[in-house]
Amino acid sequence: MTFDDETVMAYVDGELEPPARVALEAAMACDPQLLRRVEAQRALRARLQRACAPLLEEPVPERLLDAARGARAPAAVPPLPRARPPVRRWSWPQWSAIAASLVVGALFGPPLLHPPDGSVTARDGRLLATGALAQALSRQLVSTQAPNAAVRIGLSFRRRDGAYCRSFLLRAPSPLAGVACREQDAWRMQVLAGAPPGPAVGDYRPAAAAMPAAVTGTVDALIAGEPLDAAAEAAARGRAWSQ
């Protein structure tokens, strides 16, 4: 008796009904070639399962847990991404992993796989603003910033959990845009994107208008209500951006 491939596969998949199963098992006992075919299918199945098993161990992102619990208003759900990166939380310790996951917009400029000098640092698996960028995020107001400032703030807004967030545009050493939120007395990156080459000096467009889509998409996904106006922004700074 011969068994076609689909029958052998069905046997390995536990889908063969008893009469056919018994017949195949009986044949296997005295047909080494059939046995090899069964073993090859078993090996493939086991190999796929083994290789894909670790994916089940990965932590599930909060946003998916929220969605499954129905904790999120459907209206707030962004569509699937185009070039826009979804907003995520990161826990990988290395800069390169964090940076690679945060950095989007590969169309502009070189890959940003090392920290731009002194503006962003990885600490405890979080990517935080430092130096001039941190200063600007803490001090600079959209309403009063100089048009040629090294760091330009696009928007200030509150996230759904109440945290203050600000989008920014950094001209040097390479054009970089992003969104940072105030978490535990630091500015934590939510997204970083390569920005298109900067406008000429004297371009008075608001920084918000020059933001890459990745950044504006992240703002859209995070923001609760409207961006802060000048008074609210100044008041938030007065409280050191604590909630």
Partner 1 sequence: MPPPAELHAQLVALLPRLRRFARSLTRNVHDADDLVQLAIERALARAAQLQADAPLAGWMYGIVRNAWLDEVRARERRQRLLTPDVGDSLAGRVSGPTDAEQLAVQEALASLPEEQRSAVALVLIEGLSYKEAAYALGVPVGTLTSRLARGRGALQRLLGEPGPQA
Closer residue to partner 1 (CB): 14 or 202: 14
The C-alpha atoms of residue 78 and residue 221 are separated, in whole angstroms, by 7
Least Å distance, CB 13 to partner 1, is 6
Closer residue to partner 1 (CB): 7 or 138: 7
Least Å distance, CB 143 to partner 1, is 35
Least Å distance, CB 119 to partner 1, is 21
Structure tokens belonging to residue 168: 């920014």
Cβ atoms of 8 and 16 within 8 Å: the answer is no
Q: What is the DSSP string of 24-83?
A: HHHHHHH-HHHHHHHHHHHHHHHHHHHHHGGGGGSPPPHHHHHHHTT-S-GGGPPPPPSS
The C-alpha atoms of residue 222 and residue 163 are separated, in whole angstroms, by 10
Structure tokens belonging to residue 195: 């920005």
Closer residue to partner 1 (CB): 102 or 228: 102
The contact set with partner 1 (CB under 8 A) reads 5-6, 9-10, 13-15, 39-41, 43-52, 54-58, 60-61, 63-65, 67-70, 74, 77-83, 85-86, 88, 97, 100-101, 106-107
Structure tokens belonging to residue 209: 């208008």
Least Å distance, CB 28 to partner 1, is 17
Closer residue to partner 1 (CB): 87 or 153: 87
Structure tokens belonging to residue 131: 């130096």
Least Å distance, CB 126 to partner 1, is 16
- φ, ψ of residue 99 to 5 degrees: the values are -65, -45
Closer residue to partner 1 (CB): 29 or 44: 44
Q: Find all residues with CB under 8 Å of 170, minimum gap 6, and list them.
A: 116, 119, 133, 150, 151, 176, 177, 178, 195
In sign, the C-alpha dihedral spanning 48, 49, 50, 52 is positive
Least Å distance, CB 35 to partner 1, is 13
Closer residue to partner 1 (CB): 69 or 239: 69
